[in-house]
Chains A and B, each alone.
Chain A
Amino acid sequence: MATTNQTSLYGLMAEFDDPAAVVSATRRAYAAGYRCMDAYSPYPIEELHHALGIHGNRLPLVVLIGGIVGGLGGYLLEYWISAIAYPLDVGGRPLHSWPAFIPVAFETTILLAALSAVVGMIAANGLPMPYHPVFNVPEFERASRDGFFLCIEATDPKFDVHETRRFLESLNPREVADVEP
Chain B
Amino acid sequence: MRVEPAAAGGSLSGAECALSRAEDLDQESAGWLRRLGADGGERQAAERELHARLVRIALAEVRRRSASTPVTGQELEDVAYQSAADAMLAILAKLGDFRGESRFTTWAYRFVILEVSSKLGRHYWRNPPVALDAGQWERLPDRLGIDPERQAESAGILAEVRRVVDAELTSHQRRVFVAIVVDGIPLDALAAELGLRRNALYKVIFDARRKIRRALVANGYLEEPGLEQR
- The answer to whether A and B assemble together is no
Q: Could you list which residues of chain A lie within 8 angstroms of chain B, going by C-beta atoms? A: none
Q: Could you list which residues of chain B lie within 8 angstroms of chain A, going by C-beta atoms? A: none
